[in-house]
Amino acid sequence: MTLDNIEKIASYIVSEGKGILAADESNPTCGKRFDTIGVENIESNRRDYREMLFRSSGLKGNIGGVILFDETLRQNAKDGTPLIDIMNAEGALPGIKVDKGLVPIQDGSEEVITKGLDGLDERLKEYTAIGAKFTKWRAVIKIGDGMPTDKCIDGNADALAEYAKLAQNNGLVPIVEPEILMDGHHTIEQSFDASSRALASLFNSLKNKDVNLKGVLLKPSMVTPGSDATTKASVDDVANMTLKSLKENVPAEVPGITFLSGGQTEVEATEHLDAMNKIGGFEWKLSFSYGRALQAGALKAWSGDAENVFIAQDILSHRAKMNNLAAQGKWDKGLEEDF
């Protein structure tokens, strides 16, 4: 298949159970991860870690795209091979995070809006020239006292839509990510309400901007209780509430929904995805765009030691395969026993 337009690219990334490896941690965030394993946060260590990820055999057939940070898109491997050439050879298309982080929606507000629209068109042109095939922009929605407000939801939806239109104008598939933060004591019902409001506003804004929904991927949160909630939710509750929110708000022409893991453990993120695909009854591909839920075990095993590369790659490859199966509703907990 020739990936010569955004609709084909979007469909490819989520085809046959494939999903996305989110490796777009900023350098400071990467430093926090490295602190947990005692590795210095310098360019060569970041390169070695990501090269280890991208050379893992389990990318092929399981990972359709990799979201990168600006530094990584431009980096070469230790032997001089561009990192994007390594992932392309495994069938994983390179993507790039293009937002510029979060700012308060107004002075004194706990709510935030994502910045980065200034100069975005020029940056997108450069990323296209380097070889990126898709992009990502993250909005953050908080649940709390009086939150989320319509101002926060609608402001972030408008920014996501403006970004998406610019990305498509440059031949890039936009991933739109309205993340509902897990932080807090909120119930699963409050999470459902915030998710549904955010999705409804997002697709209204995308429609108003005349964005081609067949060339968009959605990266939402799963509908879960807050991380500090007194009442937990079963796997079936999360699967059913998430699907209800999606079915009521996401048009069928969107080719794929690639969930963020949002603080879930590696196996929890896989189990929830599998449960939704076992339920079925939707036209989009339901897949994954995981960062920590693909990388956590591999990062710990690697710990900056070249002798551990193959062990770490086996762990990442296993997680990629497990999530491929979950994206097809074919996963089983028994498959995790050796890991």
Residues with a catalytic annotation lie at 177, 219
Contact assessment for residue 3 and residue 313, using Cβ atoms and an 8 Å cutoff: no
- Which residues are 6's β-sheet partners? none
- Which residues are 65's β-sheet partners? 20, 93
Residue in the structure block whose two tokens are 């070249």: 306
Q: Closest Cα to residue 206, out of 239, 251, 247?
A: 251
Which distant-in-sequence residues (6+ apart) come within 8 Å of 91 by Cβ?
59, 60, 61, 63, 64
Q: Closest Cα to residue 295, out of 75, 85, 15, 32?
A: 32
Say what angle helices 150-169 and 120-130 make with each other, to 10 degrees: 50
Per-residue tokens: 136:
């990502």
Contact assessment for residue 299 and residue 315, using Cβ atoms and an 8 Å cutoff: no
> Which alpha helices (DSSP H) does the chain contain, by range?
6-13, 27-35, 43-54, 70-74, 83-89, 120-130, 150-169, 188-208, 235-249, 266-279, 292-302, 309-326
Residue 185 is given by DSSP the state S
